[in-house]
A and B are shown apart, each in its own frame.
Chain A
């Protein structure tokens, strides 16, 4: 994978990102509180996806954004053409 990241230290990146990330963490916390206060049944599958995504954020591993995207994605089946009866290209 290419690395075109400019030479900024972790401290410099954190200095830039801290307030925006803090604000986003608060938005998530407040959104979950809002969900708790609401009446009625929650949509369990969607909530489960959200919980999985939040767990990824705390992992000490790269490519968190890609992994979160995949949690919210329908699965790809390489045999889709047979299932949909779509003939192959030329």
Chain B
């Protein structure tokens, strides 16, 4: 089955992974800007990173027939440096009209601090002024519930935001309901230990329905599995779900959400 991986960090994966993903049916992916494993020190460091995201990775993906899209921001883990964050936010518009740029992301919270909230709000303001879609990172483990609710407070507190153009990612059992009920899109990340398993993601689809729900691997340099979306497809098939339902979650939904970005030009496989 052809599928999208709407959240994967290919800068930290090998070219062999692109080949494997293509063999498993991945036709498109989106790569949010994220933390490199260390705090970058200069705005030029981010400028180089955005160059990699908007020029090099799409070329590498295209060698295997995969269409690569991206999102730009400074990640919440680096938001404690508010001065650098503001420099990066001011620089982001240099890249927003490049092909394949879908919007601002993955912005959000990490430890739910004041500085993270300030930088998040300034990213939202940039997205509204430039008419960009938004991809949101919700915190890990014990911080997720609190941080997701704080993020929803900030999103719903801004009357300019069109909720159908915001994807709140890394939802789990305790956060999916408020995200969907508020009218946002929700992404489930399939991680071996710290987020959703394919079986729990299938449970969430069964309990909440497929509307505005996506699944992704969030494959990166840490423990993660870039082929996790095919694992979800297999789990859904084992339970007897129809192909149309599975396709809606792994192909139609991400395509519909991405199509609201002016940088999304998609060539369907004939």
Distance between A50 CB and nearest chain B CB, rounded to angstroms: 13
Residues of A within 8 A of B112 (CB): 74, 80
Residues of A within 8 A of B225 (CB): none
Beta-carbon contacts under 8 Å, B221-245 to A: 238-241, 245
The residue of chain B having its C-beta at the shortest distance from the C-beta of A64 within the complex is B173
**Alpha-carbon separation in the docked complex, A79 to B186 (Å):** 25
Tell me how many residues of A have a C-beta within 8 Å of chain B: 29
Distance between A17 CB and nearest chain B CB, rounded to angstroms: 9
**Alpha-carbon separation in the docked complex, A80 to B116 (Å):** 13
- CB of B145 within 8 A of CB of A73, answer yes
Q: A4-B245, A74-B142, A76-B146 are in contact. Are A65 and B203 (CB under 8 A)?
A: yes
Q: Which of B160, B174, B207, B245 contacts A90 (CB 8 A)?
A: B160
Q: Which of B173, B206, B208 contacts A65 (CB 8 A)?
A: B173
Judged by a CB distance under 8 angstroms, whether B121 is at the interface is: yes
Distance between B171 CB and nearest chain A CB, rounded to angstroms: 11
Judged by a CB distance under 8 angstroms, whether A5 is at the interface is: yes
Contact with B along A1-38 (1 / 0, CB 8 A): 11111111000000010000000000000000000000
Contact with B along A50-81 (1 / 0, CB 8 A): 00000000000001011001101111111011
Q: A74-B146, A76-B145 are in contact. Are A88 and B207 (CB under 8 A)?
A: no
Residues of A within 8 A of B208 (CB): 1-2
- CB of A69 within 8 A of CB of B145, answer yes
Q: Which of A2, A66, A86, A90 contacts B173 (CB 8 A)?
A: A66
**Alpha-carbon separation in the docked complex, A1 to B177 (Å):** 9
Which residues of B does A touch, CB under 8 Å?
Answer: 112-114, 117-118, 121, 124, 141-146, 149-150, 153-155, 157-160, 172-174, 200, 203, 205-210, 238-241, 245
